[in-house]
A and B are shown apart, each in its own frame.
Chain A
């Protein structure tokens, strides 16, 4: 599993094939971040370890982390958008009772 840094020091891309990156540190709502040479403003505060789309992802498209599928997009996801249980669905088993943790 290869790891490459993006131009942004806040993001960690675990595999070149990935369409999501991981936040290396918590970010505040309204703060900005460079993603693929474009500036994006975070629409909400997020903790370290959460995922951000690093390119547009279409509904039904596989979401890749570690170069492997972690599920599919439940809706269209724009670059810079938070990717989590509200827009990412497991292909494995339905994760129940997780709505409470959606931020």
Chain B
């Protein structure tokens, strides 16, 4: 049944896209009377590989609706070629601006050059690109992944209030810049406190199953009761680690402090149950900031900063139940 619903949605999207092509002339006629709010924006999204990305797309749509923006979303299904096609099609349709969540960091110069030649501003969402010519895009709205780690580290230091603490770290997939940054940030966050030290670090590959297996190993390899906190680079690995602690007869959240990053719905459930202590949000609401800076740019040419950082907000158990309700249908 769900499969049919998906195909139905794809068919509708195709119908809508061909429809757009037909009334291109009408759009241009309407251009004259356009206000800064009534923009048409094309959004080349990577895909829907995770709940977070699905939430990013949902929020991009709902925030566009609030502002009276016509948003055209193109799902690239993880392929750069599809993103380049989508951007060319947006240029051909004469959109007012383009949002791009780039699937990889290189190889954008040519197509973004075409957008620049057509005078269409491009805003990057949640990832940066490698280019020698920074004028190819107007701005990049992303989170500060080093800051996310710092917030987590600082929370741990202030919670401990001077108590000695041996921390185990569950890293994401080795080689990702995100992992290097979240590691570096956390190390910076705890660098002021001599009482906090990372004693073990291992990769849980961002998944629940590997996070659980790694935590089981940590518990076995360390002397009983000597682990005081666990820091995971994402919430999913923490959820796996929480299960490992429970199965080993430990109480996550009190015996072992648990801090992770992302703020996905399930970690709020864990916090509400007292199994986790803190999470740092990687907000899926990237598009609204892009809309705001585009509106200002279109209105009076205000140049936005090249890098707009979304806040890395710390969430604690006191708001967990409410946050879970707010997010559970978004992801």
Judge: A and B partners, yes or no: no
Chain A residues engaging chain B, CB cutoff 8 angstroms: none
Name B residues whose Cβ lies closer than 8 Å to a Cβ of A.
none
